[in-house]
Structure formats: structure tokens, C-alpha cells
Structure 1
Amino acid sequence: MVSEKTKERVAYWATKLECPVDEDANYENTYWCNRDLIPIPDDRRTWTWQGFAGYWIITGANNSAWTAGSTLLALGLSVSQAMGVIVGSSLIISMIAVVAGWMGSHDYLGFTVMSRASWGMIGGFWPVLNRIVTACIWMGVQTYWGGQAVKIILGAVIGPKYAYMENTLPLSANVDTCSLISFFIFLAVFCPMLLIPPEKLQLPLKIAFAIIVCNIFGMLIWSVRTAHGAGSLINSPATESGSTLNWNIVYGIQAILGLWSGGIVGQSDWTRYAKTPNASLLGQGVTCPLTIIITALCGVIITNATKQIYGEYFWNPFELLLHIQSVSMTPAARAGTFFAGLAFLASQMALCIVLNAISTGMDMAALCPRWINIRRGCYILTVIAVAICPWNFVNNVTTFITVLSGWSIFLSGMTGILIFDYFLVRKCQLHKADLYQGNSESAYWYIAGFNWRAIVAWIMGVWPLLPGFIRRVQGVSDGSGWDHVYDLSYFFGFFVSGVIHWVLHILFPTKKQTGASPFQMELHKTRGQHIHGQYVGSTSSRDYSDEVVVSVGKEKEGI
């Protein structure tokens, strides 16, 4: 039996460690709610069009876009065909980002809470967990490349003594001593950045995207001038033809979509901070495709030019800079690699914060809102990212990239359900208070907290893709019907899941399926709390009893 003293101690620390609550807040920490999950209030809506333009420069001008050309050329496409695929894919990414972000900029709710409306209060944990799993892996990979940026910078400053220090780790570690030290230096710089709240990130991101843009064009000018041109790869023909080429083009489109699938499904995580409802449209509609296209094109040209300079292709810019240091440590080479490394450090720092940490921190907050907020979730994610030893994924890359880019088969259906639910099922109307009420009185409780319609719709959009996905991972694809269904995976999952979800809600409508009511909580303020029969004194300037009455306000009843 647990003693009363132990119970008191546990109760005390449980209260002590609860997430902070704002002064004069209109919410309380519950199992469904905290400061980072409520509709964003006016004073925290600070993001302007410039912030969202910077967001998409950071999200689009990354390693994935840089190396997109190599992925498509490996499928047998010519450079012009590969760029056509990238243009088409980026425009589709842009359109989905605008639609998926609409609910954030108009209802000020993130993906985490919006999932409760379509999946149910408990069922909403499923899409959230999917995003957390993928984010943990991507976070690890991106922090590893951040460490490589540190390695480049310190190699330029300190010289060969650092860049070529003796490796004391075994080959089985899949990482050398210098890279491991650089990885932890990156983390030491990165972790304090997580203390900045999302609404105050605009200035750091503006600085980062200015550095990133200058670096890309700087490397482009250097490579073309040094190679006296862009090289012969630009004019090389496709190595595939006929139906094989056509299906590879289709697969290439969904592969590019897959790389950004996690970011676009969670667009509302960021658009809910928009100062005006349309503040995000320029970034999503213009900056997004433009940045991806320009980065991919520069990646192809720089890689082709460096083939003329060094005699081999370096599709990864980090490997290119490290190679430059290995063959030349002249003052010019050291200065050039230093500033390029500094730009990639800023890029990786911003990318880890924007695309992984903040969004996933919000997802983790949904798992345990009383004790986890965005900031704490970010640190939990960072610890997991280190624990998975990301260098093992990076240095055994073939199957890993196939699996991770193919993970969009699970996210595409979730994106379709989210969008079809908000626009066609709810007609852009939500009972906001019900999204924080975990009982049968909530409009989004459905059956035991699960919306069976979303579950059925998602399964129907996923299972036909699994045979082709497995065959692709195993490397035995031969152009069968299952393989071609998988080639259409993002579009298939998005539309099949979305349409079935919509139709099931038409055939089997739920209570308060449409109509709207405001977010409102009636809080009962006390001087302390009684837990397990024991009084726990105030642990902050503001304490409430466990009892929170949720008022749905005046409702406009729908179905």
C-alpha cells in the first residue's frame, strides 16, 4: 500500500509541474487543454506576410529541395523533365498548404485540436502520433546535418587540426569523432533557441532566410564561374522512355509531395498565429513554389558545375563543402566554406525549429496537456532525436529514404480527411468549446471518443497502397498494378479517404455536425486544491479547482 505521505508528495509535484497558466486566462490546464492548445488570442497573433514568406523560404530552401533533382534524374528523367515535375509538385504543395492553413488563420486552431473534430476526442490521437513518429526521425536527421554545418565552420576556423582529427570510434558506429562532437555542439546552440515562443520567432527567421538566400546564390555564382559554365548534364536526355518514363514522372511527383507531406498537413499550426486571416497567402501561394523551384534548379546547376571542377557529383551541399576543405585549405577556401557553413547552420537551426520542434511540441502537448506544452514537447522531441542515433539512418540511407518518403501514404489520407471534414462536413463551422470536452456531451465524442467514419475512410485510402509500398521498399517493383497504384499514392490516399469521410457523414450524420459556438470556459477560482483528501497550497499566482465547466455558448444548431 502507498502511504499517505507518498500520495501527498506525488500530488504536490503533480501540481508543481503543471504547465504555466497566463494571468487572467480564459482557460485552465485539463487533460484536453492548455495555453498552447486553445484558439490563439489576439495578442499572440503576430505573424505578418513577411513571417510566412520567411517560413516558406526556410521550409523550401533545404536539403530536400536541393537534392530533389538527383532523385528525379535517378528515375531516368532529363533535367528539363525533372524541373517540370518539381514545378508541378511545388504548385500542388502550395495549393494544399493554402487550404490546410485556412482553418488556422480563420479559427486559430492547430492541426492537433482540429484532428479531434474529424477523428473524435480520443481518435484524434492517431494522426497526432503519426506526425510525432515521423518528426522524431526527421528531427534526428536534420540535427545531424546541423552538426555537419558546425563541422564545416570549425574546420574552416581551426583548420585541419579539427576537420581531420583522429577518429576514435569503431566503423560500426557509423559516425566519426569529429562529426559526433559537432553534432553535440549544434545541440548546445540549438536548445536555447527553443525558449523563444512561436509568436516571437519572426525576427530570427527573417535573419535566417536572408542568410540562406545569399548563400544559395553565392554558391551558384562561384560554381558557374569556376567551372566556366553549368556543365553538360543540363542538356543530357532522359535515360528512360515510354510508359516507364511516364510512370516514373508520376511517381516523382508524389515522391516530392511526400517530402513536404508532414509540413503541409500541419499548416494550421503556424497560420493560427497570423495577424490577419490572409497574412499567410503570399508565403503559401507564391514563396512556397518559387523557393522550392529555385532551390532545386540551383542544386542541379551547382552539382553539375562541381562535376566539372572536382570530377564527381556532389548532390549533397554539406558533402560538397567538406570535400572542398579536404582538397584545399587556402584562405579563400576557408573563408568561402566558413560563410557557407554558417548559412547552412542558420538553415538547419530554423528548419529544426519551424518544421519539427514547434509543430511536434504542440502534438506532444495534446498527449498530456496538463504537464506538456510546446516548449516541453520540443525538448522531449530533441532528446528522442538524439536517442535514435540519427547517423545510423543517414549513413544507411537507401531503404531509409524510401520508407520515410513513402510514409506519405499514411499522412495523405489524414490530410484529405482533415480538409474534407472542415470544408464539406462542417462547412467551416466548429463548436470550439466541445473540442476541449472529453465526455459524451461533446459534439466530437462520437462513440467512446472515436469517429468510426474517419477510421473507415483512412483505412480505405491506405490499404490499396501497402502492397506497392512494401514492394518499393524491398526493391522488387516491376510495374504491376499494385506498383502503379502506389505511384499515385498521395493523390489516391488524399481523395479516397477525404471523399469516403464526407460521404459517410452525409449518410450517417452526427449531432451538431454543422453550426458554431465559441470557445468559453467558466473557471472556478480557489486558493488551492484538494487532492486525495489533502489540501495542496497555491503553487503559483493563479490556482483553480479541478472542476472546469465548459460552456458551449449560444449555438447555431445544424444537423
Structure 2
Amino acid sequence: MVSSKMKEKVKIWARRLECPVDDDANYENTYWCNRDLIPIPEDRRTWTWQGFAGYWIITGANNSAWTAGSTMLSLGLSVPQAMGVIVGSSLIISMIAVVAGWMGSHDYLGFTVMSRASWGMIGGFWPVLNRIVTACIWMGVQTYWGGQAVKIILGAVIGPKYAFMKNTLPLSANVDTCSLVSFFIFLAIFAPMLMIPPEKLQLPLKIAFVMIVCNIFGMLIWSVRTAHGAGELFHAPSTESGSTLSWNVVYGIQAILGLWSGGIVDWTRYAKTQNASIFGQGVTCPLTIIITALCGVIITSASATIYGKYFWNPFELLLHIQSVSMSPGARAGTFFAGLCFLASQMALCIVLNAMSTGMDMAALCPRWINIRRGCYILTIIAIAICPWNFVNTVTTFINVLSGWSIFLSGMTGILIFDYFLVRGAQLHTGDLYKGNKSSAYWYTAGFNWRAIVSWIMGIWPLLPGFIRRIRGVSDGNGWDHVYDLSYFFGFFVSGSLHWVLHTAFPAMKQTGSSPFEMELHRTRPSHLQGLQSEGYVESTASQEYEIVSVGKEKDTNV
């Protein structure tokens, strides 16, 4: 039996480990609410249009965009056809970003809380968990490539002793000693950066995106000048034709959409003005993806002329340069390129993986997990999964992960259709933090059956084609073609059906709005009044609260 004294100690430590609370806050830590889940207050809305432009440069100028050309060419497209697919896909991505980002910039809420409106207070955990699972894997993969950037930098500085150090690990480890050491060095640099609050990330991101732009064009100039042209890849014809080529184009579009379909609502809630994010989403987003993909194709083609081999991954290209030559020029060039890629991976891991997933994890246990703690939990998981196993082997698993957008597409469709068509862009904000039947979003035992039915109906027709593609037995039958349309199919079928079901079976307070207002009775010790560092307090011991009421509704219906 556990003694009463031990139980009391557990209670005390549980209170001390609760998330910090702002001084004079209009909220309390509950199982539904903390500082990072409430509508972002005005003093924390600091992101300007430059910040969002930088966000999309970091998000768009990465390995995914760099290697997008190789993905399209593997489907049998020529370079002009591949670039046409990338242009079309990026324009669609920008439109989705503007529409989805509208929610964050007008209601100052993130994906985690917005999901409660459409899925129910408990049902909202399902889309959040889906994002967390995929983010854990991608975080590991991106930190591995961050380690490769460190390997390039130290290889240039120290020389062959580091770059080609003796491997003491067995082949079954799927990683060499130098890469493993570099991986942990990257993590040591990366971990302190997670202490920076999201609203204060603009300056580091501005520095990062300047380095990224300079690096891409620097490598482009070097490769074209050294190869005396763009190489032979641009003259290669398509290897497919007819209906096969057409369906591959369709599949290529949805494959690219799946890479940039998440995390949009999360950051727009930090917008200083309601239109601050539009330029970044509508202009910078497509331009960055298009330019990065084009530069990636040119650099790969030109470097093949130089080295006689195609290197679609820029990290592998730089490592190959060091293996061929350790001249002062090669070391200087790879050092600066590696430094820029280090900044790119650092920013990518923070913005697209850590912070966004930290917001999701905060929803799982708001009393004890906030964005910062969620980031560190994610980082620990990313280490534990040994990401080099996913990069160097297990290609089937990576294919599964890449196709996971079929599950997220329906969730995105439900979120957007629910907000704009079902609710007319209005929310009972206070009800998003009430975990009982009095909440407009409690529905049936905390679940909105309409969203569940809609998501299942938008997903199940895609599963046969998904499984067939993973198994490598696709032959162009009907199921395969439905899967080729997976993102569009899941998005529109799930979203439209969700709207139809809400029209036929309206829910309590389906329309109308009410503010985020909580009347709280709480007692806080005097030494906890005020935040001791960056708006935080160190302890919430002996803190007690009771939610008396939440807002007043207006213009409601049943």
C-alpha cells in the first residue's frame, strides 16, 4: 500500500511540475487549457509579413523541394513536365495555406484546439495524434540530416581525420561512427534553441533564410560554371506516355501536396495583423518551392557532368566533393555550404517539426506539457527511434510514411469545411476549453460522429491503392487511380460529407460565436505572482482553481 505521506508528496510534485501561468492570467491550467493553447494574446502576436516569408523559405527550401525533381523524373516525366507539376502543386499549396491560415490569423487558435470544434472535445485527439506520430519520424530524419551538415562542416575544418575517421560500428547499425558523432553534436547545438518562444523566432529565422538563399544560388553558380552548362538531364525525354504519363502527373501533384499540407494554422495565430501571413503564403510559398526544385534539378544535372554520377541529395553531393578533393577551395566551399545547411536544418527542425508538434503535444496533457516541453519530448523520441535506420534502410517504411497524407488530407478537409461552411467562420471560443456536456463541442460523449463518418468515407476507398503501391503491385486498375487522386479525394469527400451531415443533423450551438472568457476563483501564493523569466513562473505549488462559467453565447441555434 502507498502511504498517505507518499501520496501527498506526489501531489506536491505534480503541482510543482504544472506548466507556468502568466501573471494576472485569464485562464488556468486544466486538462483542456494552458498558456500555449489559449487564443494568442495581442502582446504575443509578433509575426510580420517578413517572418512568414522567412517561414516559407525555410519550409520550401529543403530536401523535399530539392529532390522533388527526382521524384517526378522517377515517374517517367521529362524535366519540363516535372517543373510543370511542381509549379501547379505549389500554387495549390499556397491556396490551401491562405485558406487554412485564415483560421489562425483571425481566431488566434492552433490546429490542436480547432480540431475540437470539428471532431469533439475528446475526438479532437485523433487528428492530433496522427500528426504527432508522423512528426516524430520526420523529426528524426531531419535531425539526422542536420548531423550530416555538422559532418560536412567538421570535415572541412578538421580534414580527413574527421571526415573519414575509422568506423567502429557494425554494418547492422546502419550508421557510421562519424555520422553518429555528428548527429549528437547537432542535437547539442539544437537543444538550447528550443528555449526560444515561438513569438521570438523571427530574427533567427531571418538569418537562416538569408543563408539558405545564398547557399542555393552559390551552389547553382558553382555547378553550372564548373560543368560549363546545365548538363544533359534537361535534354532527356519522358520515359512514359499516354494515359500512364497522365496518371503519373496526377499522382505527382498529390504527392507534393502531401509534403506541405500540415502545420499551417499553428503559426498564423502569431500574426501581428490579420493579413500579415498572406504575402508569405500566397507569394513566397510557391516561389520558394519552384525555385528550390529548379535549382535542385540544375545542380544535380551539372554535378553529374562533373562527377559522372547523379546526386539528388545535396548532403551526399557535398560529402562526395570532400571524398574527391580536400583542396583549400573544396574545403572552404563545403564548409560554407555545410554551415548554411546547418542553419537550414536547425530552422526546419524548430519551425516545421519541434514547435508545431510541441503545440500538438500540449493538447495531450495541457496541465503538464506546453510547447517547450513538447519540443523536448519530441526530440527524445526522435533520438530513440534511431532515425538512420529510416534514412539508410527500410524503404518500404519511408514509402508508407510518405503516403500517410491520405489520412491527413481528410482531416484537413474536415477542418476547413467545418470552419467556413458549417460555422460561418464563427466559434464559441470558450466552449473549446470545457470538457463536459455544457460545451458546444462535446457532441456525443466528447465525439462528433459526423466527422468520424466523413473521415472514414473519405479514406477507405484509398486504402486498396495505398497498399498496392506499398507492395509494388500497382498496375493501373481502378483502385490505383483512386489512390492517384488521394489528397484531392480525401480532402473534398471528407470535407463535403462533413458539411452535408451537419446540415442534415445540426448540432447544439452550431453557429454563432462567444469570446474566450473564464471567471475563475483561484488562490495563488504571493511568491508566484508574476513571471520570473520570459513570462514564466517556476512553480504552481498550492495553486487551486475553479471554473465558474465560460463566456456568454450569442446568435446560437440547435
Question: If the length of structure 1 is used for normalisation, what is the TM-score?
Answer: 0.97
Q: How do residues 108-123 of structure 1 correspond to structure 2 at under 5 angstroms?
A: 108-123=108-123
* Structure 2 residue runs without a partner (length 5+): 526-536
Q: Cα distance 1:539–1:130, how it changes in 2: closer, same or farther (>3 A)? A: closer
Q: How do residues 45-64 of structure 1 correspond to structure 2 at under 5 angstroms?
A: 45-64=45-64
Q: Cα distance 1:469–1:388, how it changes in 2: closer, same or farther (>3 A)? A: same
The aligned residue for residue 337 of structure 1 is 334
The aligned residue for residue 532 of structure 1 is none
Shift of 1:397: 5.4
Q: How do residues 79-478 of structure 1 correspond to structure 2 at under 5 angstroms?
A: 79-262=79-262, 266-396=263-393, 398-478=395-475
The answer on 1:520 being equivalent to 2:533 is no
- Aligned partners of 1:240 and 1:543: how far apart in 2? 69
Shift of 1:124: 0.1
Does structure 2 retain, via aligned residues, the 8 Å contact 1:103–1:268?
Answer: yes
- Aligned partners of 1:558 and 1:476: how far apart in 2? 51
- Aligned partners of 1:180 and 1:402: how far apart in 2? 24
- Aligned partners of 1:324 and 1:400: how far apart in 2? 30
Q: Where do 4+ consecutive residues of structure 1 move more than 6 Å?
A: none
Q: Of 476, 479, 485, which aligns to 2:476?
A: 479
Letter in 1 for 2:227: A
Shift of 1:527: 4.6
The answer on 1:556 being equivalent to 2:542 is no
The aligned residue for residue 534 of structure 1 is none
Does structure 2 retain, via aligned residues, the 8 Å contact 1:437–1:550?
Answer: no
Shift of 1:400: 3.0
Letter in 2 for 1:10: V
Letter in 1 for 2:281: Q
Letter in 2 for 1:431: H
Secondary structure of 2:260's counterpart equals helix
Letter in 1 for 2:230: A
Does structure 2 retain, via aligned residues, the 8 Å contact 1:78–1:236?
Answer: yes
Q: Cα distance 1:235–1:550, how it changes in 2: closer, same or farther (>3 A)? A: farther
- Aligned partners of 2:458 and 2:158: how far apart in 1? 54
- Aligned partners of 2:553 and 2:87: how far apart in 1? 47
The aligned residue for residue 17 of structure 2 is 17
Does structure 2 retain, via aligned residues, the 8 Å contact 1:224–1:230?
Answer: yes
Letter in 1 for 2:554: E
Taking only the aligned residue pairs, the percentage that are identical comes to 84
Shift of 1:399: 1.7
- Aligned partners of 1:173 and 1:541: how far apart in 2? 44
Shift of 1:371: 0.3
Does structure 2 retain, via aligned residues, the 8 Å contact 1:36–1:374?
Answer: yes
Does structure 2 retain, via aligned residues, the 8 Å contact 1:52–1:279?
Answer: yes
Shift of 1:89: 0.4
Shift of 1:549: 2.2
Shift of 1:539: 7.9
Does structure 1 retain, via aligned residues, the 8 Å contact 2:512–2:553?
Answer: no
Q: Say what the alpha-carbon RMSD is for the aligned residues.
A: 1.3
Secondary structure of 1:411's counterpart equals helix
Does structure 2 retain, via aligned residues, the 8 Å contact 1:523–1:544?
Answer: no
* Structure 1 residue runs without a partner (length 5+): 529-537
Deviation string 1:293-318 (CA, Å, 9 cap, x unpaired) is 00000000000000000000000000
The aligned residue for residue 77 of structure 1 is 77
Secondary structure of 1:553's counterpart equals coil
Deviation string 1:325-370 (CA, Å, 9 cap, x unpaired) is 0000000000000000000000000000000000100100000000
- Aligned partners of 1:65 and 1:164: how far apart in 2? 29
Does structure 2 retain, via aligned residues, the 8 Å contact 1:416–1:498?
Answer: yes
Letter in 2 for 1:445: W
- Aligned partners of 1:472 and 1:19: how far apart in 2? 44
- Aligned partners of 1:522 and 1:140: how far apart in 2? 42
Shift of 1:3: 1.1
Secondary structure of 1:261's counterpart equals coil
Secondary structure of 1:549's counterpart equals strand
- Aligned partners of 1:334 and 1:478: how far apart in 2? 48
Secondary structure of 1:522's counterpart equals strand
Q: Cα distance 1:527–1:92, how it changes in 2: closer, same or farther (>3 A)? A: closer
Letter in 2 for 1:110: G
Deviation string 1:416-450 (CA, Å, 9 cap, x unpaired) is 00000000001000000000000000000000000
Does structure 2 retain, via aligned residues, the 8 Å contact 1:457–1:498?
Answer: yes
- Aligned partners of 1:494 and 1:543: how far apart in 2? 47
Deviation string 1:374-414 (CA, Å, 9 cap, x unpaired) is 00000000000000000000001532332122000000000
- Aligned partners of 1:427 and 1:173: how far apart in 2? 53
Shift of 1:469: 0.4
- Aligned partners of 2:340 and 2:59: how far apart in 1? 14
- Aligned partners of 2:5 and 2:149: how far apart in 1? 51
- Aligned partners of 1:541 and 1:315: how far apart in 2? 51
Secondary structure of 1:252's counterpart equals helix
- Aligned partners of 1:498 and 1:141: how far apart in 2? 31
| Number of matched pairs | 548
Does structure 1 retain, via aligned residues, the 8 Å contact 2:18–2:540?
Answer: no
Letter in 2 for 1:51: G
Does structure 1 retain, via aligned residues, the 8 Å contact 2:144–2:183?
Answer: yes
- Aligned partners of 1:459 and 1:419: how far apart in 2? 17
Shift of 1:236: 1.3
Shift of 1:166: 0.3
Secondary structure of 2:289's counterpart equals helix
Q: Cα distance 1:499–1:178, how it changes in 2: closer, same or farther (>3 A)? A: same
Does structure 2 retain, via aligned residues, the 8 Å contact 1:465–1:489?
Answer: yes
Does structure 2 retain, via aligned residues, the 8 Å contact 1:115–1:418?
Answer: yes
Q: Cα distance 1:173–1:541, how it changes in 2: closer, same or farther (>3 A)? A: closer
Secondary structure of 2:548's counterpart equals strand
Shift of 1:555: 2.1
Q: Of 492, 498, 502, which aligns to 2:489?
A: 492
Letter in 2 for 1:384: I
- Aligned partners of 1:4 and 1:503: how far apart in 2? 54
Letter in 2 for 1:229: G
- Aligned partners of 1:351 and 1:343: how far apart in 2? 12
Question: If the length of structure 2 is used for normalisation, what is the TM-score?
Answer: 0.97
The aligned residue for residue 38 of structure 2 is 38
Deviation string 1:220-267 (CA, Å, 9 cap, x unpaired) is 0000000000011112110000111011000111111111123xxx31
The aligned residue for residue 533 of structure 2 is none
- Aligned partners of 1:540 and 1:134: how far apart in 2? 33
Shift of 1:543: 6.0
Secondary structure of 1:525's counterpart equals strand
Does structure 1 retain, via aligned residues, the 8 Å contact 2:20–2:538?
Answer: no
Does structure 1 retain, via aligned residues, the 8 Å contact 2:18–2:539?
Answer: no
